[in-house]
Amino acid sequence: TKQVIAEVAKELGIEQRAFTSEEILRRLLFASVNEACKILEEGKALRASDIDVMWLHGFGFPRYRGGLMFWADQIGVKPVYEQIEQWHQRYGARWRPANLLRDLARDGISFRDAKPGTK
């Protein structure tokens, strides 16, 4: 089966390599941050802290991390955006950064300080 996987990956141009735990974590959570930005853009949530409440109480996100968006603020909006943009360039449309994420990174605004209803 490993040989079949390697052959199919080669045919599809998929690079096979080892991933660190940190890279796996960031891919999962950065994708969620990007989707959360789209939720904010669509007005389905008013503030980043609303997303945090949902992640803390709905998904059981570790309380000491403060919620998904608080966690992302600790990394920095700009580094999150830059990484997602790199993945977008490498992997295509599924990694297209949300407009809100792009704008906050450009303007140096944290999720916490983003005005409610910012699009």
Domains, the chain, ranges and CATH? 20-107 (1.10.1040.50)
Q: Tell me, what DSSP letter sits at residue 67?
A: -
Whether residue 119 has pLDDT greater than 90 = no
> pLDDT digit string (tens) for 26-46?
999 999 999 999 999 999 999
CB 69 within 8 A of CB 111: yes
pLDDT at 105: 98
Which pLDDT tens digit goes with each residue over 44-89?
A: 999 999 999 999 999 999 999 999 999 999 999 999 999 999 999 9
- Which residue is listed with tokens 């295509």? 92
